[in-house]
A and B are shown apart, each in its own frame.
Chain A
Amino acid sequence: MVDKLARLTAEQRSNFVAYLDGELNEDEAQRIEQLLAQNEVARHDMESLASTWEMLDTLPRVKASDEFTQNTLATVKMADAQRQWSEPEWMTEARRIGVRAIGWVLVMACGLGGYLLARSVPPTTTDAMIENYPLLKNFDSYEEVGSIEFLQKLQSNPEWQRRRVEFGQGGR
């Protein structure tokens, strides 16, 4: 049987069932009919396909039990009633909006809390450096001065005061 089948193409075999079901267009149906007229194997194939298809009529056709319709309608009504007795839609929607609002409030509260916490934390070394940057920027110059007493003496020196004014330097 397999050797004989090999003489038919795959497309021809797939069209046999469609032909039996009336699903081929006119050209395709004519090609199958020509094939059937010329090829005994094809005819046998077609016949056995049709016969085994008819065997399915042997399967018993089941009828619904007498109470099926009533049971189904009752089940549907019960399911519907249960849905109506549960939380009304407006409450569900209100709860949904409420949960979202609470969520947003919590996010904002966390953000604010984080900010306040950050502010209360003692300054780090980096913070101290940033705060004293003006001093650090001129540290090399200040180091050359030597001592505070020298600066105080300089401050009270009239000649020094005159030169400062002359060169337009402000300061204390």
Chain B
Amino acid sequence: MLRVREGDEEAFGELVEGYQDRVISIFTTILGSQDAAEDLAQETFLRVYRARHAYEPQAKFSTWLFRIANNLASNSRRSKQRRKEVQFGTGESGPQSMRIPEKSVAEKSALMPARQLDRTELASVIQDALENLNDRQRIAVLLNKFEEMSYADIAETLELTHSAVKSLLSRARENLREHLENYLQT
């Protein structure tokens, strides 16, 4: 990132390649669509490039990157929520989703509660459980789980205190447990 700050374009290309999968994965989980995730990821890297002169080497690049990503994700979800409110009752479908509709999974589970869900169905159930978290809980869980960020790093990314992150993750994981406990294999 220091090389990018000095104007090294090749370094920026390496940066994008190094972080693109991680950023797109998190966005895909939040937004439910890889296309939307890639658009937002591209916007994230564009903002990183524009703000490169302001980068301070004291801060970890990943916390800075995911802070930008989190802001964009929040804005995107707020816009999506506003569009849903406007489209209510028109019958228009939302963005393409990679999730299996919740109803069909619940129906199947209700008919055969002991049936083990296949991987795709389970992913859909987990996605629904994540949807039940609020935005902050969700991003904290994803950063903790998939970026293996410490509480201190998550605190810096989300601009919260360490104890606030601890509470946030505790509540989030309790919520996830409530939703997923029935699907735990015995």
Chain A residues engaging chain B, CB cutoff 8 angstroms: 13-18, 21, 23, 48-49, 51-53, 55-56, 58-65, 68-69, 71-73, 75-76, 79-80
Q: A58-B119, A69-B17 are in contact. List 11 more A-B contacts (CB 8 A).
A: A17-B166, A17-B170, A21-B144, A21-B151, A55-B122, A58-B123, A59-B29, A63-B21, A68-B16, A72-B45, A73-B9
For the complex formed, measure the closest distance between the CB of B175 and the CB atoms of chain A, giving whole angstroms.
10
Q: Mark B145-181, 1 if CB is under 8 A from A, else 0.
A: 1100011000000000000001101100110110011
Nearest B residue to A11 via CB reads B170
For the complex formed, measure the closest distance between the CB of B56 and the CB atoms of chain A, giving whole angstroms.
21
Among listed B35-43, B73-81, B103-111, interface-contacting one: B35-43
**Which of chain B's residues have a CB closer than 8 A to the CB of A18?**
151, 166, 169-170
Q: Which of B121-154 contact A (CB under 8 A)?
A: 122-123, 126-127, 141, 144-146, 150-151
B21–A58 contact, CB under 8 A?
no
**Which of chain A's residues have a CB closer than 8 A to the CB of B123?**
58-60
Knowing A52-B173, A52-B176, A64-B41 are in contact, say whether A14-B126 is a contact too (CB < 8 A).
no
Can you give 29 A-B contacts (C-beta < 8 A)? A14-B170, A16-B170, A17-B169, A17-B174, A18-B166, A48-B181, A48-B184, A51-B184, A52-B176, A52-B181, A53-B176, A58-B126, A60-B123, A61-B146, A62-B24, A62-B25, A63-B21, A68-B16, A68-B20, A68-B41, A68-B42, A69-B13, A71-B42, A72-B42, A72-B46, A73-B16, A76-B12, A79-B46, A80-B49
A59–B24 contact, CB under 8 A?
no
Given B20, B34, B167, B183, which contacts A55 in the complex, CB threshold below 8 Å?
B183
Number of A-B contacts (CB under 8 A): 105
A61–B21 contact, CB under 8 A?
yes
Q: How many residues of B contact A (CB 8 A)?
A: 43
Nearest A residue to B117 via CB reads A58
**Which of chain B's residues have a CB closer than 8 A to the CB of A75?**
42, 46
